[in-house]
Amino acid sequence: MRRYILLSLLALCLFGQAQAQKLLENNSYYIRLGYNVGGTAPVGMPATIRSLSRYTLQPNLLIGADVHKQYGDSKWGLMVGLHLEQKDMKVDARVKNYHMAMRIGNEAPVRGVFTGQVVSEAGLGMVTIPVLATYDITPKVRIKAGPYVSYAYQTEFSGYAYDGYIREKDPTGTKVMVGIGDAANGTYDFSDSMRNLFFGIDVGADWYFSRRWGASIDLSWGLNGIFKSNFDVIDDTLYPIYANIGVTYKIK
């Protein structure tokens, strides 16, 4: 009986080794370095946001590793990655009747609709796992698309309001000046209301201009908003939408 058990275990180990070798066939390994440009924004420009006065680039670096499996002689493949990335944003926008909550100087927080300038700073430090189907248009050009999941280990959404006024509760409420004359700026921080788990879609292309080196461009579009479902200060759902440009290096 012991002999049969040992033979069965040996056969199982050999089968597992064969399957592992088959899984690792036609695999390539890459290091990726890129820069994210974009922001957290609603889909479509709402009427409450009148104009974008200033957009400030942030140090949004991405570094990661990818494994690509080619399926035999087919042009199709699968790419799985592990990326460490930063998705920050700083914008100054002109708004009208924009739902906000803020603290003006040392006064108690005020909630209502604001008209004026709003400076927003958002920050997402993320670990991202993309799972992408790939198709080789040519030996040097590969397109890719698929879902991703991200965990945000660092979240921030804060800023200040100025050059305007807020009406308490609704557009007919008491008018409070903000950042005009002697009135202090209004400050806010909604970082504690942000979620940590994100899902989205990534589409892009890699161009390999040498045997080892390549250039890449990607668009990642978040499918869930940056705030938790019970957050009700800002009316619009804000999605992380970023483009990435970068370089890749083929290790094997």
The per-residue DSSP string of 116-152 comes to: EEEEEEEEEEEEEEEEEEEEESSSSEEEEEEEEEEEE
Residue 10 located in a structural domain? no
Q: What is the CA radius of gyration of the chain?
A: 25
Q: What is the mean pLDDT of residues 190-216?
A: 97
* pLDDT at residue 6 tops 70: no
- What CATH code is carried by the domain that includes residue 147? 2.40.160
9 pLDDT band, cuts 50/70/90, is very low
**Could you give the CA distance from residue 137 to residue 210 in angstroms, rounded to a whole number?**
16
| pLDDT score of 111 | 96
Which domain range does residue 100 map to? 27-250
**Mean pLDDT of the residues in the chain:** 91
* pLDDT at residue 18 tops 70: no
Residue 6 located in a structural domain? no
8 pLDDT band, cuts 50/70/90, is very low
State how many domains the chain has.
1
140-182 pLDDT, tens digit each: 999 999 999 999 999 999 999 999 999 999 889 999 999 998 8
Residue 226 located in a structural domain? yes
Q: How many CB atoms lie within 10 A of CB 211?
A: 7
Residue 15 located in a structural domain? no
Residue 183 located in a structural domain? yes
* pLDDT at residue 251 tops 60: yes
Q: What is the mean pLDDT of residues 42-63?
A: 95
- The residue ranking higher by pLDDT, 23 or 227, is 227
Residue 11 located in a structural domain? no
Residue 22 located in a structural domain? no
**Could you give the CA distance from residue 27 to residue 1 in angstroms, rounded to a whole number?**
41
Residue 239 located in a structural domain? yes
54-68 pLDDT, tens digit each: 999 999 999 999 999
19 pLDDT band, cuts 50/70/90, is very low
At residue 7, what is the residue type?
A: L
Lowest mean pLDDT among 28-32, 41-45, 192-196: 41-45
